[in-house]
Amino acid sequence: MNILEFRNLTLAVGGREVLRHVDLAIAEGEFIGLLGPNGSGKTTLLRATLGLLAPLAGEIRVFGALPRRGNPAIGTIPQRRSLPGAVRLSGYDFVAGVVRGHRLGLPILDRDGRREVASALERVGALALSRRPLGELSGGERQRLLLAQALIGHPRLLLLDEPLVNLDPRFQQEIVALVREVQRDLGLTVIFVAHEINPLLGALDRVLYLGAGAAALGPVADVITTPVLSRLYGVPIEVVRLGGRVFVFSGGANLEAEAHRHDDMAGQGGTESHAHDHHA
């Protein structure tokens, strides 16, 4: 069964088309890596899936229906996740704050709510972290709590917008392995946005690569190739495989190693301001 379908989809931001005539489907239980150069529309595609952006043409089907804001069957980790008002919250209160649609705060939970928070924290290995203030946690530890937030409400689809950004390689591998474990245990579908393929290689079922308004979906060996990426980037690309890793070059520069800027939706508010705004 397909969880997500894009049918002749065209998306525009600020009058500029970022994706044109995209036709593809993602099956239930898949782990999809979503990649592409800056401005290719990765975050835009997630926003449209969440019902936050209407297509210019074509349509999106999520669980067989049109997207809608606040769909509890979708859990998210947003791209922009600064937490200036939350650093003093404990990890537990941070996760509990999204139960049944609450924003950050200190809701009074009933027994079922407390059980759900404890289950989500245990699922991501964050029970010990939940007793500490957010301001004392590392980036990787905060990602565990954000993933716990995304699991509140028992979603079927996770949209994770660059959860590896600013993490060192060890924490990147930990987060990817954790998401894969959770995905398999719960039978979830995952779309995992990243700017570099290598941390995801051992977890992916397929990769969705965006560029030049187009999209390519398939196994890594079929998509991360010189002809496909040259078409998507619109310039000659060289793909090199070495030591179990993949490197993407243009004009001698390693594209995936360059500084990454979050500019898919600059000035548009990102995916969401909070990991579980869909419960609002």
User: In Å, how far from its chain's centre is CA 97?
Assistant: 21
- Alpha-carbon span 276 to 116, nearest angstrom: 14
Which pLDDT band, with edges at 50, 70 and 90, does 265 fall under?
A: very low
Q: Mean pLDDT for the chain?
A: 87
- Alpha-carbon span 103 to 105, nearest angstrom: 6
Rg (CA), the chain: 18
pLDDT tens column, 191-239: 999 989 999 999 999 999 999 999 999 999 999 999 999 999 989 999 9
Whole-structure pTM value: 0.88
Q: Strand, helix or coil at 167?
A: coil
Which pLDDT band, with edges at 50, 70 and 90, does 272 fall under?
A: very low
How far CA 6 is from CA of 21, 92, 184, in Å, comes to 9, 37, 24
Q: Tell me how many domains the chain contains.
A: 1
Domain that holds residue 147: 2-279
Alpha helices in the chain (DSSP H): 42-49, 91-96, 111-123, 139-151, 169-186, 220-223, 226-233
Q: Once rounded to an integer, what is the mean pLDDT over residues 256-267? A: 46
Task: Return the amino acid letter for 138.
Answer: S
pLDDT tens column, 47-59: 999 999 999 999 9
Residue 26 has pLDDT above 50, yes or no: yes
- Alpha-carbon span 197 to 256, nearest angstrom: 8
CATH number reported for the structural domain that contains residue 93 in this entry: 3.40.50.300
Which pLDDT band, with edges at 50, 70 and 90, does 81 fall under?
A: low
Residue 273 has pLDDT above 90, yes or no: no
pLDDT in the model for residue 108: 75
- Alpha-carbon span 167 to 173, nearest angstrom: 10
Range of weakest confidence among 9-18, 76-85, 200-209, 257-266: 257-266
